[in-house]
Chains A and B, each alone.
Chain A
Amino acid sequence: MRRKIVRYFFWQKFCFLIQSASVVRLIILLIPFFASSFSSAQLPRTPEGNPDLNGVWQSLNEANWNLEAHIASQGPTETLGAIGAVPPGLGVVVGGIIPYLPNMLEQRELNHNQRRTEDTEAKCFMPGVPRANYLPHPFQILQADGDLMIIYQFAGAVRSIYMSDQIDAPVESWMGWSNGHWEGDTLVVEVTGLNANWLDRSGNFASEFVKVTERYTLIDSDHINYEAKIEDPSVFTNPWTIAMPLYRRIDPQVQLLDFKCVEFAEELMYGDLKKVTSKIKE
């Protein structure tokens, strides 16, 4: 009986992954169709003629829970009840599966088992790239003269995208070093010098040797087609890509607010060092 149940879940997950991989492929195939229905000439543009990416953007998917397709499940903190549950997602990985080296799958499993305490998001560490773009928080692109800048609400992370005077990453950092250029109407950003970091709440990860190549393509005034190719031979057998739309936050008066999450991570990180019967200042 138990074997039958296991086999059932295996096939359910297998079919789900195959279907979801097809859905991601379908989305990728359809994006140019929808983009073509919104003429390139209609795109908002800067005075220099590039697509105008200025604005507050946010993803709207379950990628931060798990980049791969996944069913709904109990979250890492069961005491939160359904509030902390993992919502289902079709996945954003082109092809459906992240191509881990066999021995790296063990690390993902280990991460998954320790996700409540070890996920860098839980610790309020800067999220790195590409994760910063699919956290459930808005971010703002600033584009005018010279370099671009992206400011993230989560943890106050910020990155400059150097459009000229480009150099190799001078040092490793959490948000990495971003060199950008335009390929037609697509902003292409090569990100290196990233620290090893988690890619989602399920334990997917990349090492400090990762190179991320992002492509931002404005497909109409309120949507960006976002793709990120992830290359890390120390963790993956071959490069792989995620793809998702980014949505303009059109709420009136929308702006980034404070999410200085350090104070929300302190109990998790330093709670065991608290004096018994502590009186908190605030």
Chain B
Amino acid sequence: MKIKKVILLCPFVYLISSYQAHSQETPRTSWGDPLLQGYWTNTTVVPLERPIELGYQEFYTREEALEILATDVVEQETEFGTVADVHYQLDDYGLSREQTDVVLNLRTSILTVPRNGRLPKLTASAIARSDELDKINAEHGFDSAQSRPYAERCIMWRHEGPPLLPIGYNSNLQIQQTPEFVVIITEMIHDARVIPMRTSAPESAKIPRWQGSSWAHWEGDTLVIETTGFSGRLNAWGTKAEMSTSAKVVERLRRNSEDTIDYEFMVEDPTIWEAPWGGSYPMLATTPPLFEYACHEGNYGLENNLRGARAEEVK
């Protein structure tokens, strides 16, 4: 079992320590760039969207956050024989948040823009498209492998981004650096974004790609990654409607200490949301290696879902 490592990040202390780390001891590559290379986790109990009742409250107190952490990282016992009891026993596989590194972030939501910490209103066309897909899914959702969600088919998981967002387990990533490239690999499902260091879009931006085409440059000690050229096939966050090919994501990564990277992002897609949105969270250094997540190779779930659907039809 892994040792649980919880970093307590009071916003004030965090700012002070990041300033000191930056001015005195930012780890650097052999060619002088801030060192991002390594193994990181963004496992957290902070939700993407802020609970509505918290309004504009951006932070919990340290005591409140500790209490939420103590409650949320513990696997809840389920009652034997109930539907709720049919689930992965995550701690059998080291996947429970009790068994992994967790960053204590005092924020009440990952989203910081808009100020209410909630995804902006959807456009009318996005709502219509989402409704259309809901109807198709209700009628044909189990017709074939191609009818199932991309995540279930092991094609693309939404948290892989960009932007990178935490997921319930295996929320780990690896960063590799050379002077010419930064590579970001998410453990699930082993997709590598090979990001050239340049100031304009690479050639691939003219063709749609699942994770878009990214390019990056340094602004001081902050790595700024821009991404366009999305596939137009992946569901946007908070809706079934697909994020458009004209969407744009900007990510900012800054090494704040020996153990943390501060990650910020902004997302724009006027076809889906009425305003841009974005957020931030700290990533925490974690123990290597990143294990191979062979999603498709072991995808018994998809086959069993289809078999179940066919069996259901002949009843």
Contact = CB atoms under 8 A, between A and B. Distances in A.
Contact of A255 (B137, B203, B309): B203
Interface string A158-202: 101000000000110111000000000000000000000000000
B174 to A, nearest CB: 8
Interface in A238-280: 253, 255-258, 260, 262-263, 265-267, 269-270, 273-275, 278-280
Nearest to B211: A258
A145 B29 contact: yes
A158 B147 contact: no
Contact of A270 (B145, B155, B202): B145
A175 B291 CA distance: 10
Given A149-B176, A263-B146, A281-B147, A270 B297 contact: no
B146 A281 contact: yes
Interface stretch (A18-26, A66-74, A136-144): A136-144
A280 B139 CA distance: 11
Contact of A280 (B35, B144, B191): B144
A209 interface: no
Interface residues of B, number: 55
Given A255-B202, A257-B204, A126 B294 contact: yes
Nearest to A177: B289
Contacts of B181: 142
Contacts of B144: 266, 270, 273-275, 278, 280
Nearest to B155: A262
A210 to B, nearest CB: 16
A107 interface: no
A146 interface: yes
Contacts of B313: 275
A173 B291 contact: yes
A157 B293 CA distance: 10
Nearest to B140: A279
B185 A158 contact: yes
Interface string B195-211: 01000001110010110
Main secondary structure on A side of the interface with B: loop
Given A151-B183, A158-B185, A263-B155, A256 B145 contact: no
A158 B154 contact: no
Contacts of A281: 133, 136-137, 140, 146-147
B175 to A, nearest CB: 10
B303 interface: yes
Interface string B294-315: 1011000011001101100100
B192 A144 contact: no
B143 A260 contact: no
A253 B202 CA distance: 8
Given A142-B178, A151-B183, A262-B153, 9 more contacts: A170-B291, A257-B207, A260-B156, A263-B153, A269-B145, A270-B303, A275-B144, A275-B310, A278-B140
9 contacts: A54-B180, A156-B191, A156-B192, A262-B154, A263-B155, A273-B306, A279-B140, A280-B140, A281-B133
Chain A to chain B: the 9 pairs with minimum beta-carbon distance, closest first: A278-B143, A273-B306, A253-B203, A173-B292, A144-B178, A270-B145, A266-B145, A274-B144, A275-B143
